Amino acid sequence: MDFHSILIMMVTLIVLAYIASAVFERFGLLGLIGEIVIGIVIANLAIGDWTLLGQLGIEMGDSMGGEPSQNYEIIELFAELGVIFLLFSIGLETKVKDLLSVGKAATLVAVMGVIIPFVAGFALIQIYDGNMHHALFMGAAMVATSVGITARVIKDMKKINAKESRIIIGAAVIDDILGMVVLAIVIGMASSEGGASNVALISIEALVFVLASMAAALWVVPKIYGFFEKRNKDKPASSRTSISRLVLAIMVCLGFSLIAYEIGLAAIIGAFLGGMLLAEYAHWWKLEERVESITALFISFFFLNVGMQVDLGSLTDVTVVALSIVVILLAIATKYIGCSVGAKMGDKTLSKGSRSIIGYGMVPRGEVGIIIAAIGLASGAMSSELYAVAIMMAVATTIIASPMLARAFKKEYPPEYDPTMEELV
């Protein structure tokens, strides 16, 4: 292990991300967008033969067999850990009862937010080049929802306890399950191996995992907790105990991420469910601030890495640019419309502003869209041209929708009249 090179890379990236975030916030923009933008700059900065990536020992690899360098793999690992701990901390602030209370709305938001973008993406590419495999994968990439991005906005705005946030988070979990099903079907069709029974199996596994986690949070954890608290009630809680509890929470977080991963769900969905398992005790155990600190070390790598996927070189291709613009507009419109209509169907009491929050909250495709496009490229079912378009779509929806979400939140909850602030300050 070349620790020296890793240290140089870590320091450089953390400093650049910090500056970009601070500059964007100075101008009233979201810090995470600054980090994504600086990621684009880092990946594309070249002066003659000199590249910043080369300087930092980062080789991102490619689908043509180019292997990523160790330093890039560490960025990927930190990015993944960052978003896992971010979703874990969102889970820690989400009680099962609150999530269940928005269950119907969340389900309809997820379903509508899957169907409409998929149909639109599929139809567009069918018209564009008539290749069904291309069309299927673009549809699947447009289905993705990056709850990581939205979660960060919600967390920064201290809106985790708002009803709209709970609907978005719940819908994102369901969306991930549906997205996995769509992807499994698409891969099955593209590789012309049926695999329908396989799709049914993983869907059932995923559903069982989600429901079992919720049931455990409601009925099993309180019993275990009660048992240990009774045993330990005569011992004073020291800072040692507090660290010990944090390590226990880390085990739950990574353990649930692992289970989700094994089933075929995104690891972050597991992390979220793991957090929810401890939500009733998180405040008492002072977990939020501690997990937040771990997240802070890693999370910039996540946003940087999203930006780093953009190859500005592909923008010299007029077709890619034109198609990207169409796909981006379609991706935003279909997800926004699908989700806000779903929200209206699921909960008549939601105001127009609330539906708008939910619509924008589901738009960012972020890393999930990128992963699906990469699977399509690697399996040969997607062209490199359409891959570039899908990356543009995933990053652009994130950059465009996050500020809209923030603005929609501010409009619906003006700071001075914000009913959710009191409990959080």
Q: Nearer to a copy of itself by C-beta: 6 or 185?
A: 6
Residue pair 13/55 in contact by the 8 Å Cβ criterion: no
Q: Nearer to a copy of itself by C-beta: 247 or 318?
A: 247
- The site map against a copy of itself for 151-170 (x = CB under 8 A) is -----x-x------------
Residue pair 394/141 in contact by the 8 Å Cβ criterion: yes
Q: Which stretch binds a copy of itself (CB under 8 A): 143-151, 249-257, 331-339, 368-376?
A: 249-257
Dmax over CA atoms of the chain, in Å, equals: 71
- Residue 47: what are its φ and ψ, rounded to 5°? -125, 105
Q: Residue 82, CB half-sphere, CA atoms under 13 Å: how many? A: 21
Q: Which of residues 220-239 bind a copy of itself (CB under 8 A)?
A: 239
Which stretches within 130-162 are classed as H helix? 132-143, 147-156
Q: Give yes or no for residue 415 binding a copy of itself (CB under 8 A).
A: no
Q: Give yes or no for residue 417 binding a copy of itself (CB under 8 A).
A: no
- Paired tokens of 191: 């590789």
CB of 7 to a copy of itself, least distance (A): 5
Q: Which stretch binds a copy of itself (CB under 8 A): 35-43, 198-206, 292-300, 382-390?
A: 292-300
39 closest CA partner among 404, 395, 298, 321:
395
Question: Residue 209 and residue 207: Cα distance in Å, rounded?
Answer: 5
Q: Give yes or no for residue 293 binding a copy of itself (CB under 8 A).
A: yes
Which stretches within 27-102 are classed as H helix? 31-44, 52-55, 70-92, 96-101
Q: Nearer to a copy of itself by C-beta: 254 or 392?
A: 254
Q: Which of residues 300-319 bind a copy of itself (CB under 8 A)?
A: 300
Does residue 57 come out as left (phi exceeding 0), alpha (psi in the -120 to 50 range) or beta?
left
Question: Residue 230 and residue 233: Cα distance in Å, rounded?
Answer: 5
Q: Nearer to a copy of itself by C-beta: 134 or 290?
A: 290
- Single out the residue of 119, 202, 250, 329 in contact with a copy of itself (rule: CB under 8 A): 250
Q: Which stretch binds a copy of itself (CB under 8 A): 107-115, 165-173, 248-256, 382-390?
A: 248-256
- Single out the residue of 296, 312, 326, 378 in contact with a copy of itself (rule: CB under 8 A): 296
- Paired tokens of 405: 């979400």
| DSSP 3-state of 51 | strand
Identify the DSSP state of 69.
P
Q: Report CA 326 to chain centroid distance, whole Å.
A: 23
Q: Give yes or no for residue 264 binding a copy of itself (CB under 8 A).
A: no
Q: Which stretch binds a copy of itself (CB under 8 A): 180-188, 244-252, 368-376, 383-391?
A: 244-252
Q: Which of residues 4-43 bind a copy of itself (CB under 8 A)?
A: 4, 6-8, 10-11, 14-15, 18, 22
How many residues belong to the site for a copy of itself (CB under 8 A)?
46
Q: Report CA 182 to chain centroid distance, whole Å.
A: 17
Residue pair 5/71 in contact by the 8 Å Cβ criterion: yes
Q: Give yes or no for residue 246 binding a copy of itself (CB under 8 A).
A: yes
- The site map against a copy of itself for 113-152 (x = CB under 8 A) is ----------------------------------------
- The site map against a copy of itself for 63-92 (x = CB under 8 A) is -----x-x--xx-xx--x------------
Which residue type does 98 have?
D
Question: Residue 359 and residue 112: Cα distance in Å, rounded?
Answer: 11
| DSSP 3-state of 46 | strand
Q: Which residues contribute to the site for a copy of itself (CB under 8 A)?
A: 1, 3-4, 6-8, 10-11, 14-15, 18, 22, 68, 70, 73-74, 76-77, 80, 156, 158, 239-240, 243-244, 246-248, 250-251, 254-255, 257-258, 261-262, 267, 289-294, 296-297, 300
